[in-house]
Structure 1
Amino acid sequence: MKKLPLKERIIETALVLFEQHGYHGVTVSQIVDECGTSKGGFYHNFKSKDELLYHIHDCFISYVLDKAREAYDNFDTPVSRLCATIQSFTKVFDLYKPHITVFYQESTYLVGDYYQKIDEKRDEYRKLIVQMIKEGQTNGDFRTEVPADISTMSIIGMINWTYKWFSKEGPLSIESIALIFNDLILHSLLTEKGMKDEAVNNYLLKSQPISF
């Protein structure tokens, strides 16, 4: 098996140690000892332990933000843009579950410029989803009586909780879970006009139920 580059090995080691012992319970010395490098190797890749924590947070937040931007650019309707964004958001809990777990455990220790950079990306992501929903309300696909801001926070809150219960060994794939989320969200937001869009059927559960 190909050996991971040193930077990735440091990240993988830190993820395990932070999850087990907490951010302040782990030293740089423990990280380098565990992954078989030196402090010189560590500081060649990260200025500090704080920067390492920032990088762990930034990996998955940058992923979902980039995917949301791609969804907006590559799809033509608010429904398809929102559903593609929900799919990529859900997928992150399969791709980056250890990163997200550490984020929720240790995010209070992210301060200064590192916190601001992460917060700016989270805010941009939220605003992009709000924009998708408002555009759907403008063209008549989404219900106007449901506020876009509250709908957005409900979507983010519901999907964020996936990190607590999703398991790769569980009965449902991450793709199946994303489909369930899209079905729930669309049935909450769509107008009668929106339901008539043929593309909507690509994001709804079929008549055959998914077994859990």
Structure 2
Amino acid sequence: MTEQDRARVPRGEARDRIVAAATELFGRYGYEATTTRQIVEAAQVTKGAMYHWFSSKEELLTSIYRELLAEQTGRLQAISAGPGPADVRLHLAVTDLFAHMDDHAEALTVWARSMHLVAGEHASAVRAERRRYQHLFQDLVEEGQKTGAFRDDVLATVVTNTFLSGIVQIYRWFSPDGPLTRRELGEQMVALFLDGVRSSAE
């Protein structure tokens, strides 16, 4: 593709190409080893298109994760506000979280491996959005504790942070060549988590 052809790529399509190329390259070579030039060439867009959408490689990495986190938060918000008792909605929430993670495994693994390299305003923005997700999750746990569906001898903050911290670490030990698929792993972790929070009176 010539430079002239690259310049003709529609803006929205150019952004999608950049995100897809960056995700693939970050996953293959690592965030630090990947250059903006490699991303531009793989995406077949101009450097101007790259910097139109993203001011830096760091912003590009952060944007990929923030968009996925926004999706997760929106889905959790819809489930939390939906019908049914808290234990049913929490089951839906954690099952949906693993399904979303499975659908976007490459991008989320890239973020988990690279997030320690992000600082400043980008890191602050991610922390703020993660807190929003955590608060929604914790509210659901607290609701279940108040109704007696969940054990109340462990603080909802402990339940929430223990579970979500464990999710973040999956990339460190999970192998696609292992005995479980990501979906099967999700099913086992959901069962383990729900058994751990369920009230003994249930």
Normalising by structure 1, we get a TM-score of 0.79
Distance 1:149 1:50, change over 3 A: same
How far 1:146 sits from its partner (Å)? 1.9
1:129 aligns with 2:137: yes
Q: Which residue is 1:103 aligned to?
A: 111
How far 1:186 sits from its partner (Å)? 2.0
Q: Which residue is 1:148 aligned to?
A: 156
Of residues 165, 173, 181, the one that matches 2:174 is 165
| Distance in 2 (alpha carbons) for counterparts of 1:19 and 1:176 | 23
Of residues 46, 53, 59, the one that matches 2:54 is 46
Of residues 24, 36, 42, the one that matches 1:16 is 24
Check the 8 A contact 1:64/1:92 in 2, yes or no.
yes
Q: Which residue is 1:28 aligned to?
A: 36
Alignment of 1:53-132 (within 5 A): 53-132=61-140
How far 1:93 sits from its partner (Å)? 2.3
Amino acid at match of 1:27: T
How far 1:94 sits from its partner (Å)? 1.3
Instruction: Tell which deviates more after alignment, 172-181 or 121-130.
Output: 172-181
Task: Name structure 2 gaps, 5 residues minimum.
Answer: 1-11
Q: Secondary structure at the match of 2:24?
A: helix
Amino acid at match of 2:165: G
Check the 8 A contact 2:151/2:198 in 1, yes or no.
yes
Task: Name structure 1 gaps, 5 residues minimum.
Answer: 196-212
Check the 8 A contact 1:86/1:181 in 2, yes or no.
no
Check the 8 A contact 1:91/1:175 in 2, yes or no.
yes
Q: Which residue is 1:191 aligned to?
A: 199
1:74-99 Cα offsets, whole Å, 9 max, x none, are 13321122111101211232111121
Q: Secondary structure at the match of 2:32?
A: helix
| Distance in 2 (alpha carbons) for counterparts of 1:108 and 1:120 | 16
| Distance in 1 (alpha carbons) for counterparts of 2:83 and 2:117 | 38
| Distance in 2 (alpha carbons) for counterparts of 1:81 and 1:31 | 40
Amino acid at match of 1:126: Q
| Distance in 2 (alpha carbons) for counterparts of 1:47 and 1:38 | 14
How far 1:100 sits from its partner (Å)? 1.3
| Distance in 2 (alpha carbons) for counterparts of 1:179 and 1:97 | 16
| Distance in 1 (alpha carbons) for counterparts of 2:29 and 2:103 | 22
| Distance in 2 (alpha carbons) for counterparts of 1:105 and 1:178 | 20
